[in-house]
Structure 1
Amino acid sequence: MPKPFVFNDQNQVNSYGFRIVTSGISLKRFKKNPMMLNNHWNSTGNVLGRWENVTVDKDLLLGEPVFDMDDKDAALVAGKVEREFIKTCSMGISFNREDLQIIGDELIMTKCELYECSIVAVPSNANSIRLYNQEGELLKDEEVKKLCLSIMPTEGETIPPTQTRTLDLNPKNNMKKITLSIAALTALSFDKTAPEVDVEAVETAVLKLSKENAENKGKLLAMQTEKENQEAEELKALLDAGQLAGKFAAPKREEFEALGKASLSILKTTLDSIPSKTTLANQTVTPVSIGVATKEDFQKLSLNEQLAFKNSNPDEYNKMFNVKK
């Protein structure tokens, strides 16, 4: 079994000076086409293989390489990986500018989408990345650096504590106190009757809120990503079962898939309303070996097993679900 590669470690700062929240990386697009490229060269000749078992393990995003061994160039790289001369990969991600933020005193990308992942020989650091815009165009290093600089506060700039950036505590100003609005005092849980507070106390409170905000965003994004992945798996299962039952032909699959992406419940209702067709495939389905005596037993079966039971035991199925002929 190949050793997994580390796509992302959210504790590591990349060469552009920011960290990426692992739970905020969407895999929805990537799982449909998990490309393994050679040094981010997006061409058919530079496809080395694909990635499998892409999983999140605490702070890490991991994936296992599967090389196209019929391609001599891919086989050459696979040999170097196997002999541990190459151990690194590099993510290619697309993102929205507003998802790259100053949180606390760090530059953090809270959300992005995995576009591709490449085998690389010597990345700029242990967690090298390449950035794409929303149109799938690869950004130049100069463009990314300018973007990061535009987000960082300039020397002497004072950032209000109600914003995402941290306060700029310029020692030249020799400020020990700061006057806050009632809204800011309330948000930071300070005494509203004393608007003048210590700068250090404000900084501490802002950092605490920023970290809590980042954690909550990470949890929300993780839940959204998990939900999207579950919906994609459920959609595939419904389409596979419907096609296997002869409810639609292969050329019509895209139309049913589009319906399912709009509403899984409508797709399920639509497929349930279409009668199954008796075909050779239906007749040769492997019988269900598990005893099915109740509805609960039936619900424990996989979709294929449910279909096999329904086709093989129509009378029992009709009686179990009170289906009138």
Structure 2
Amino acid sequence: MNKHSFILSDESENSRGFSVLTDGIDLSLFLNNPIMLYRHNRENLIGRWENIRKEGKQLIADAVFDTNDELGSKISQKVEDGFLRAASIGLLPLEWDVTKTIVTQSRIYEASIVELPSNGNAVKLYNDADIVRLSFDTDDTDSFLNQVLAVLKLPAKTDPKKAIEVLKKIIDNQDAEKNKQGSQVIEQALIAGKITAQMKPRFENMLKLDFEGTIAILEEMKGKQNLSSQILNTDNDNKGLDKSKWKLDDYRKYAPLELRDNPNLYQRLVAEYNKENNNN
């Protein structure tokens, strides 16, 4: 079996309208576990990659197939015979440039043998929760693109780059709306006394990491009550209690509004208080 070196990625723009900077690819996890999959399917482990290196703008690796595995042996033979010649990386984008068309920092998790790459690089991007596929076989690609265009209500023959621009605009609008909502919730929490001005930057950072969770926390927090609200709540909480043995201090502490609204009660309690203290 001959050694087969594959270009896993370079910096050319793929058919989905973005490119990946080779210098920005973090290889640390991949070097520790350089698995080779077939078509990015974790159930199809067909070998490993060796001699992983960056040469200029290219990320290159040598394929070592597991010939003891039925699928691995089959794919190995197709590579040997020249029927399969393309590879594709699975990576997590960490940073984009300002135009959001260049992945400047990323982390690679695996590399796969594929039938048809996208513009020389079949790239599958990993999100924290979901897998965002940006390269498929030709039929899958057309089907996927048509579904996207239908959702975006764009003509069937719309240029993929135009569709990406529309998607970016939608995402930017959603981000702006979320930022507006987050700012409003934080300001309301500040006014209500739920957080202090010193705590505001911390919650702004929390919104960036977990928007929905932070909103829920702020909405569930109890603000500081003013004195009148505290007194009102105290009186409401003590309605219906047996107060036959209450003294002046008890009413002052637990039912001050009742003292205010019942002068006769107040005078009686004051008289009892003075009598008791004079006797002592």
From the CA coordinates, give the structure whose radius of gyration is larger. 2
Give the TM-score taking structure 2 as reference length. 0.47
Give the TM-score taking structure 1 as reference length. 0.41
Higher strand share: 2
